[in-house]
Chain A
């Protein structure tokens, strides 16, 4: 069975600083994808970044980067130069080659001025 764990229920970060959100996963599938989504208070899930299990390089998308350590089964999200608009709930998710995503419990990020 697949499992996603986010151990940080909440974090405060100062504006312009970097923050790392932890995500560990467990799966026996050789092929899988790891995703990060942002959910503001409005409720919509916004896709941030994707990492495939066979990708050799860590994914980056603007201020978002994914620190993928396959042997440790971790896929941490790094947000650089935090902005006030980054305050939201962040979810790590895992999926197989197609089909459903399994989500972690999320981490609430609050960016302070």
Chain B
């Protein structure tokens, strides 16, 4: 049973560019979550999916952010027109989909916007 994987692990981009991150959850996990973590803070929730349905989005998720999970397996998080304030660690987690379930996290993608 492999864990959650994320790609890329690191991304450096220039302000104004678009970036896309991928998350592969643990197989057969129905729920997939995206979080953002800035230096010295705990992770903050961005959005989550139950299978392919996006069920909740945080107010942190501006219109420059979009997430998809088209076939209920892997997910992508795209940031358009990146800003320096988008620099953070983007964490993906998955859970089986049962009540009060544990979320298992991937290694994260560190984004630096210059």
Contact = CB atoms under 8 A, between A and B. Distances in A.
Interface size class of A (residues with CB under 8 A): 20 to 34
B43 A45 contact: yes
B74 interface: no
B65 interface: no
Contacts of B40: 105
A32 to B, nearest CB: 8
A52 B43 CA distance: 21
A102 B99 CA distance: 17
A99 B97 CA distance: 9
B110 interface: yes
B103 A42 contact: no
Interface residues of B, number: 28
B42 A43 contact: no
Given A100-B48, A105-B42, A45 B105 contact: yes
Contacts of A68: none
Contact of B48 (A47, A50, A99): A99
Contacts of B108: 43-45
Contacts of A98: 31, 97, 99-101
Contact of B100 (A33, A46, A104): A33
Nearest to A101: B103
Interface string A69-113: 000000000000000000000010101011111111110000000
B91 A45 contact: yes
A35 B108 CA distance: 19
